[in-house]
Structure 1
């Protein structure tokens, strides 16, 4: 089966999907560009079409309002977009991190290409870290991702990774993710994005303060079931208790992760706590949720429906300590 992940590179432990080229730490961006499959650029061509005509030859016309984007290396078509579409090149995603890695102590950890080149990303460790009770380590990251088919704005997202289970969670406070999004009808300016990110990244301490409260908040069985039904089934048990639950398989799986089967579920920070509830959902979305492949699950967990489920879990968990 063809992989959704075209190519990627990483440092440290092998990613959960088992794909990619392993690098030693502190490699230059030029090595990352080659090993992550990002050493090509997006080219443009006018849209042409052939109209039917009498006789053997038709008439070739140009459609001036749109253009075709294609890869410089394989010439494979990527998308048809408006002429106003502002392209962000794979090299630009990596270059975004140059001063951050050379001056600010960031370390690239993964980078790669999805869907044949229609999406690409880089993820770097910021150097921020916090430990919850029971030696539960959470590290700060910055994810920069974009698309060339209109499915994703160029998005810089402060992210956390719980080390024990490699769960990823977007930093979000008061129901609002701290991501910076640049739509493709606007030119991507790295300096402007980094200036905006300075505010978002500074919220790390406040975010981890809330997470520590989740680790202290003990929950009863009925609260746990209400949490999972709300997040996964979008059912409020106080108002509605149907005979058959939507998404029942997911409900059973996430409950088992919470009750001890999840990685890190028996740590003091997680056992019987709101932090444990949140991580049961994030582990389910990142590692267990049904998908056509691990690569599709990753795409969903970072950019799609899986990311929305994790955001709903975070919002619901924070309500428990409000």
Structure 2
């Protein structure tokens, strides 16, 4: 059986810190975008007549009825869109951040993904920090996301982070976690949208704290935990040797996380520890595939940041712990 490959908790960085730039000192969205190198705009070009230079030489082509979206600083192409698509700049997409700051949020990180096709800006919510048990702290914040790849969506969503292990703790509880943001809103409408977003985040944090207290009050034996993880991760066919080896390694990691890891010290041998053991393994133990020029840390951060915790194994892990 291979040894655990989980990085030590003290060496972990939140996904947004790996993927973006620290904008904590910014006092406005415009300053935050400048600090993160996101203060570029968009330019739109017709594609009725285009000249391309490729390996076979110069090619004249066209995409009738379409337009190309480019960055206005490097002229890098971001998307080919239809004639009805309205581009939204980073400044427009993240204008709501100024209103959120007036309501108590603080700037955290900002960055770009997929060569600028997607951008994000995150903010912390100091008043939304919750404590589970005696000292297990979970911080909550919000992330604004937009895309320049043709979808044009702008969303705000709640994020959570358990400080002792840097686990992502945003799971589906029933409260709203994600809001669509119109980019044509007036200043008054933006403030109303910011209030909805921050009030929603505070409601989510309050509900999360209550559920956390319920989980930490319920004990779980080692045998119960083994049955729990075996339900989440069924043993593969014995004939699939490599799959069985991976299953055994994951099972050993989960047992160690549950019964002896420092990150489960608060609430040891409880349902809270069981949930956090699974989330910690999903965030930090599951292997990642890297693309060209990408490090394992970057690939892991992208997976954590882009894959919502409201689906998949984390949500199943939470669901299995609910009272019958």
How far, CA to CA, are the matches of 1:228 and 1:122 in structure 2? 35
User: Equivalent residues in 2 for 1:48-59 (5 A)?
Assistant: 48=48
Shift of 1:274: 1.7
Cα pair 2:23 2:110 within 8 Å, conserved: no
Deviation at 1:200, TM superposition (A): 2.7
In structure 2, the CA distance between the partners of 1:199 and 1:73, relative to structure 1 (3 Å rule), is same
| Counterpart-to-counterpart distance in 1, 2:310 and 2:301 | 10
Closer, same or farther: CA 204–50 of 1 in aligned 2, 3 Å: closer
Flag the 1:83–1:310 CA change in 2: closer, same or farther, 3 A. farther
Return the structure number with greater relative CO, CA threshold 8 A, min gap 6.
Answer: 2
Deviations, residues 145-200 of structure 1 (Å, cap 9, x unaligned): 122225794331112211122222225214x7521246xxx756473744653563
- What pairs with 1:97-116 in structure 2 (closer than 5 Å)? 97-101=97-101, 103-116=102-115
Counterpart Cα distance in 2 of 1:180 and 1:212: 27
Higher percent of residues as helix = 2
Residue correspondences, number: 290
Report the CA distance shift for 1:50/1:107 in structure 2 as closer, same or farther (over 3 A).
Answer: closer
RMSD over equivalenced CA pairs, Å: 3.5
Match of 1:259 in 2: 259
Q: Which residue of 1 aligns with 2:211?
A: 210
Distance 1:304 1:75 in 2: 29
Higher strand proportion (structure 1 or 2): 1
Structure 2 counterpart of 1:312, from 311, 315, 324: 315
The answer to whether structure 1 residue 94 and structure 2 residue 97 are counterparts is: no
Report the Cα offset of residue 76 of structure 1. Answer: 1.1
Does the CA-based 8 Å contact 1:110-1:124 persist in structure 2?
Answer: yes
Q: Give structure 1 stretches of 5+ with no counterpart.
A: 1-12
The alpha-carbon distance between structure 1 residues 89 and 170, as it changes in their structure 2 partners (threshold 3 A), is farther
Q: Is the 8 A contact 1:278 1:317 kept in 2?
A: no
Greater CA deviation, 203-212 or 152-161? 152-161
**C-alpha distance in 1, partners of 2:93/2:313?**
25
1:186-231 C-alpha deviation (Å, 9 max, x unpaired): 7564737446535632233122101111111212234323433444
TM-score norm. by structure 2 comes to 0.74
CA distance in 2, matches of 1:301, 1:123: 14
Task: Give 3-state SS (helix, strand or coil) of 2:37's partner.
Answer: coil
